[in-house]
């Protein structure tokens, strides 16, 4: 049986995006042949196209050095031309575009070829930085135009409709950023100390509040903070670790597999991003789902979409991310109250199994494709 040919489009490489890798694997298992149009912004490879040996997956890469974040804007017209030309000359049955920065060329190509198109919203781009209200309104208005022009929309968290003042499309599917279930396969070895773990992009613009967590953990005996990741905040974090070698460890960039392994081996997760940034306020949070998968409580910032889920599922504590004292008290409470600690972790694990597991998300994704390619 011939496999339906799918094009996935994303402005970064697959090795930087565990969610994208999971989607590719899910669609291959679902019987689809995948072509990934992606952007090698670090110029790691010396060739534009790579074919896998099984013949069901290939990558077509734009090799162009470019930054991450808002400073990518001047480079986007080059990406759009590359994307559009590749879509015109490549044979495909359906296209899935991930995020607003790639949607326009794909919509035009899909209309010209009379093929279905899926728009996946992982990040709402107008909310990644603080914009004047008028500019944000214009950005959302344009985004909503594209939402009307596509055949289906995938949202990465349940707060996106609220963030976008509704989604003007009747075919919306939630595929949340849940991790695969490593918990059942793990052989957990507890640390001697109560360990907090954080892994992510360490950029100052993301307002991680890691400085406040470092301050809080320095004052608690028997507590260790482990931070992993990369970004413009790395050097600063390394200095904090050098100043408190017995309390704080910085281990740099690690693989996603190691992220999940350390998540399971840690005692407490946290996602204390500053809610003043709109994309943080509405983010569903892969760290929340990772904590659920691992059966561990999590600390999250109040007035965020994550805090709504944590309170609904009773799987962690909600704190003021600007208060070092409140963060410290929450850590101490979970360290000392073993009954509460175990109950919150068990609640999170149950919610993961029943509502948020990647197995459930994969079934939703494949079901959407089956509907679209009939």
Determine the distance from the C-alpha atom of residue 326 to the mean position of all C-alpha atoms in its chain, rounded to a whole number.
Answer: 27
pTM of the model: 0.90
Tell me the average pLDDT across 223-252.
Answer: 93
Q: How do residues 176-195 score in pLDDT, each as one tens digit?
A: 999 999 887 666 666 678 99
Q: Give the CATH number of domain 4-177+357-372.
A: 3.40.50.2000
How many percent of the chain have pLDDT more than 70?
93
- pLDDT in the model for residue 49: 61
Mean pLDDT score of the chain: 91
Q: How far apart are CA 210 and CA 280, in angstroms?
A: 15
Phi, psi angles (nearest 5°) of residue 318: -105, 130
Architecture per CATH, 194-355: 3-Layer(aba) Sandwich (3.40)
Give the pLDDT band (50/70/90) at residue 222. very high
The alpha carbons of the chain give a radius of gyration, in whole angstroms, of 21
Which residues, 6+ apart, have CB-to-CB distance to 265 below 8 Å? 188, 189, 190, 191, 195
Q: How far apart are CA 291 and CA 316, in angstroms?
A: 9
Task: Please list the residue range(s) of the chain that carry CATH number 3.40.50.2000.
Answer: 4-177+357-372, 194-355
Which residues, 6+ apart, have CB-to-CB distance to 217 below 8 Å? 196, 223, 224, 225, 247, 248, 328, 331
Q: Poorest-confidence range of 42-46, 271-275, 315-319, 368-372?
A: 42-46
Tell me the average pLDDT across 36-52.
Answer: 76
Strand 248-250: give its sheet, edge to edge.
Answer: 248-250, 223-230, 194-201, 268-271, 298-301, 316-319
The label of the residue with tokens 């804007």 reads 73
First-to-last C-alpha distance (Å) of the chain: 14
Residue 203 has pLDDT above 90, yes or no: no
Q: How far apart are CA 168 and CA 82, in angstroms?
A: 29
Q: Which of 289, 210, 216 shows the shortest CA–CA distance to 250?
A: 210
């Amino acid at each position: 049986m011939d496999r339906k040919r799918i094009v996935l489009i994303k402005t970064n490489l697959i090795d930087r995006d565990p969610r994208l890798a999971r989607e590719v694997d899910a669609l291959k298992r679902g019987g689809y042949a995948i072509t990934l149009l992606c952007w090698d912004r670090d110029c790691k490879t010396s060739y534009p196209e790579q074919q896998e040996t099984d013949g069901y997956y290939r990558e077509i890469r734009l090799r162009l050095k470019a930054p991450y974040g808002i400073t990518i804007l001047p480079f986007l017209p080059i990406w759009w031309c590359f994307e559009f030309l590749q879509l015109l000359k490549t044979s495909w049955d359906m296209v899935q575009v991930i995020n607003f920065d790639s949607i326009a060329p794909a919509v035009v190509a899909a209309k010209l070829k009379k093929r279905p198109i899926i728009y996946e919203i992982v990040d709402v781009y107008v909310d990644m930085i603080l914009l004047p209200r008028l500019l944000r309104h214009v950005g959302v208005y344009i985004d909503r135009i594209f939402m009307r022009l596509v055949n289906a929309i995938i949202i990465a968290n349940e707060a996106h409709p609220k963030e976008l003042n509704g989604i003007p499309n009747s075919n919306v599917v939630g595929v949340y950023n849940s991790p695969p279930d490593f918990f059942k396969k793990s052989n957990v070895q507890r640390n001697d100390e109560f360990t907090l773990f954080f892994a992510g992009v360490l950029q100052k613009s993301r307002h991680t509040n890691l400085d406040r967590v470092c301050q809080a953990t320095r004052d608690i005996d028997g507590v260790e903070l482990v931070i992993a990741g990369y970004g413009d905040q790395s050097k600063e974090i390394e200095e904090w670790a050098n100043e408190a070698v017995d309390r704080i460890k910085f281990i740099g960039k690690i693989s996603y597999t190691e992220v999940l392994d350390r998540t399971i081996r840690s005692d407490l997760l946290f996602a204390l991003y500053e809610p003043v940034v709109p994309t943080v306020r509405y983010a569903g949070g892969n760290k929340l789902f990772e904590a659920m998968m691992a059966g561990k409580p999590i600390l999250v910032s109040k007035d965020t979409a994550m805090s709504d889920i944590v309170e609904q599922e009773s799987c962690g504590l909600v704190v003021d991310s600007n208060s070092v004292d409140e963060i410290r008290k929450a850590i101490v409470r979970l360290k000392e109250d073993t009954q509460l600690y175990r109950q919150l972790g068990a609640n999170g694990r149950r919610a993961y199994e029943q509502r948020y597991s990647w197995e459930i998300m994969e079934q939703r994704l494949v079901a959407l494709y089956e509907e679209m390619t009939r």
